[in-house]
Amino acid sequence: MKELNWIHMSDIHYNFENYDTQLMRDKTLSYLQSLKTKFQFMVITGDIRYKGKAYTDDTIEFIRNIAENLNISINNVFVIPGNHDVKRSPKRELIIKGIISSEIPSDEINKLDDETFNDLLIGQSEFFDFYKKLTGNDYKKENFHFVESRDGYNIIHINTCLISGFDGEDEQRKLLIGQKKLREALKILDHDVFNVAIGHHSIECLDPKEQERLIHNLSDCQIDMYLSGHVHKPNATFDVNNENNLLLVSCGSGMCDDFSSVGLITGFINMETGDGKIAFHKWSQKLDKWIKDNEVLRNMIDNIKPIKIKKLEKKN
């Protein structure tokens, strides 16, 4: 495969409804079709639903309609849970409080026994059922973090929501993902191909020690970019402090409210030269239409941030 194109959406919060949001959703497919691009895969980085409300058939139809009309195989639609996809419970909250109040929470999460781990994971059961209905496949929850390999690229699924779903989690920055389980998942990874990690939370949402360990693990395993959502604001920046430059990409949301920047991202990479681009798109409530977003970064050309994956250049 010489070229790879993808779509990145996040925080679609499909249960959230108002006029502007419905209009935006109705016009999403036609806008993507207007780009006249053959997309190979689509990523949705969490928060499929809004505030724990039930998943609906309309949600599945919305996602499938985009994939089918753009000729993206449902097996190449990669979805992970967000904090709104987690069901809270008193027992789960009690376990979380014990973990984050420990001396080194990043170590504590790696020592959980199977029973405690499953007590936390059960909060994502409704998401796992939704995933099965959408894709026809079971979510690989027994691995927690896992790799999906395709022709010339890998998608690394990082579940950032094991202890997500407590009040003040964004402000406290105490989220943990379990680096031990992530290291296990990454052992099968081919370092020489294009590697894309996906997770709901941006890295700065994590516990400080967990941030450091995650960046190091992604760098050590030659992961080229990390796609996320959660903050409802688009951004793209390189972490250049490790052996392997890591591109961090955050997508806007899929709900029109007073807080969110509504948007989606498309990406492209030439698998032979390593040259590529990240393109930002936003919903204009003033114009009631999708438009190119040229206001995300000052160093963009139009709505495009050029990127370079050096290892692909070296490989060829």
- Residue 315 has a pLDDT of 66
- Residue 165 has a pLDDT of 78
Is-contact 47 200, C-beta < 8 A?
A: yes
pLDDT mean over 11-30: 97
Identify which of 174, 49, 60, 170 has the alpha carbon closest to the alpha carbon of residue 108.
174
User: In this prediction, what percent of the chain has a pLDDT beyond 70?
Assistant: 98
Is-contact 105 174, C-beta < 8 A?
A: yes
pLDDT at 171 over 70: no
Instruction: Give me the domains of the chain, ranges plus CATH numbers.
Output: 3-315 (3.60.21.10)
- Residue 44 has a pLDDT of 99
Which pLDDT band, with edges at 50, 70 and 90, does 316 fall under?
Answer: low
The answer, as to whether pTM is greater than 0.85, is yes
Q: Which residue has the higher pLDDT, 245 or 92?
A: 92
Whole-number average pLDDT of the chain: 94
Q: Mind listing the pLDDT tens digit for each residue in 192-216?
A: 999 999 999 999 999 999 999 999 9
Query: How many Å apart are CA 31 and CA 28, to the nearest integer?
Result: 5
